[in-house]
Amino acid sequence: MPRVTVYYTQNCPYCRMAKAYLERHGVDYMAIDVGSDREQAKKMVELSGQYGVPVITVDDEVIIGFDAQRLNELFGTAKGEDVTDVLIIGAGPAGLTAAVYCSRKMLKTTVVSENIGGQALESWAIENYMGYRMVSGADLMQKFEEQVRSEQNIHLELDRVRSLQREGDLFVAETATGRTILAKTVILAQGKRPRKLGVEGEERYLGRGLSVCSTCDGPLFRDKVVAVVGGGNSALQTAIEMSKIARQVHLIVRSTIKADPSYVKQYEERKNITTYLHHTVSGLQGNGMLTGITVRDEKSKKETTIPLDGVFAEIGWIPNTDFLDGLVPLNDQKEVIIDINCTTATPGLFAAGDVTSIRTKQIITAAGEGAKAALEAYAYLTR
């Protein structure tokens, strides 16, 4: 057996999924919490060149992030074609809820997703989900996952759908690991991915000081100087939480702060957040690792360089609809167009959650839409 080590942090959902993957495949591994052990965190950075988790070593190979495709190549078992009643793409609040409702209707259900939890995993604290006064996104999604895994008719796979086509009465999905899945119906619930800063050199610094998952990587920046880019709820929530971890937080806002009053109140109480209104990030500096950013005042056009250790981008999300390739109509935001019953213009194809054209993007809304999509898929199959 290979020597496997997982470097993780306590609140990192991708780390939890990496460990769960190894356990399901019977792989022995050593787990090291780099959020609480600074020496091991330093070792991880030296080993991988990353200020991001998880980092997995398999003998002498270093795997950055939860790379399901590479892990499947090392430990997975190839499977042939399979036919399922419902294929659910995505395992966030919408996808997981849809899976439970499909299972209760005794439908053979397959869920395919790169992660379990979706965008909800990025939330430090959720205060508006019924039944919880306050809960982290990771904890809430763990409850969702536990319920899904208790159902007998659900097969949950960590993989990525690379293409989806309609052939006769069936949908044909090809995954990143080379599997073909045949489905009578499909529920699209793959959510969105973080929007990039659009600055030169951005890819070079991703994981090397630039992060799109503050709940994952935040603990690695204890007592350091960081910046948060954005002015909405996610940005302010990240700035508030990072102000409890980092020594100094710089909040870079393109125009003005547009967050809910509850977040604004908490933000105003933090003494170590410096705010730059009407500023954008115009440059990234560093030699291998990020050491600073340049911000531009959009009114005066004056540029300022801020020395720092990390940047968290919280500037919005892009729908994961690239692989649909004309299968279903999209709006001008590249979201899947649905009616009030989560039905698309393609028979047998349904959609729910943030990937759709509904106006409200909330966890509780996504869960409700997932239930609706599942019931519509059941009605379609029974017809």
The residues annotated with a catalytic role in the active site are 213, 216-217
β-bridge pairing 303-307 and 289-297: antiparallel
Q: Give the Cα separation of 14 and 54 in Å (integer).
A: 7
Counting Cβ atoms within 10 Å, is residue 209 exposed (0-12), middle (13-18) or buried (19+)? buried
Q: Give the Cα separation of 160 and 140 in Å (integer).
A: 23
Q: Among 121, 122, 139, which residue's Cα sits nearest to residue 131?
A: 139
Q: Contact at 8 Å (CB) between 25 and 158?
A: no
Q: Give the Cα separation of 133 and 143 in Å (integer).
A: 15
Q: Give the Cα separation of 161 and 187 in Å (integer).
A: 13
Q: Contact at 8 Å (CB) between 285 and 292?
A: yes
Q: Give the Cα separation of 297 and 300 in Å (integer).
A: 6
Beta pairing partners, 289: 287
